[in-house]
Amino acid sequence: MIRCACLLAEREQRILLVRVRQNELWYLPGGTLEADETLEDALVREISEELGVVIDRGSIELQRTVTGPAYGRDDIVELNCFSARWNGEISPKAEVSELGWFGPSDRHLVAPAIKILFDQKWSFAKIEEDR
């Protein structure tokens, strides 16, 4: 299992997602833990590297954990999704090629584990899609 710390940033019924390099699908900003790293440390490091902002450690709060298929790998991913405040303006850095805000109608654009997050967050969207 791949353990990840991710930023779950929300505004106006949309979630901040990133696209890495030329991947087709979008997912949460964040990434895998390094050896002996806590989830919170991984979150702070990854968000600094990917979005160029500094997370306010005192505001970090676990919102949910999502487990599902890893994108592009034959493995399972555990997404530990945190809310947090940050200082600075977000912009794509390092391997992130794009970022954007996505809502329930964008479910077809996201990685498999993010679809699970969308279904949990916006269960009505899945119901509507199935009609």
Task: Enumerate residues 6+ apart whose C-beta is below 8 A from 94.
Answer: 49, 50
Helix (H/G/I), strand (E/B), else coil: 82: strand
The pTM (predicted TM-score) of the whole model is 0.90
Q: pLDDT tens, 66-124?
A: 999 998 888 999 999 999 999 999 999 988 999 999 999 999 999 999 999 999 998 75
Q: Write down the pLDDT at residue 126.
A: 47
Q: pLDDT tens, 52-81?
A: 999 999 999 999 999 999 988 889 999 999
Instruction: Spell out the domains of the chain, with CATH numbers in brackets.
Output: 2-130 (3.90.79.10)
Output the 3-class SS for 29-79. Answer: CEEECCCCCCHHHHHHHHHHHHHCCEECHHHCEEEEEEEEECCCCCCEEEE
Q: Write down the pLDDT at residue 130.
A: 47
- Tokens, residue 104: 């329930």
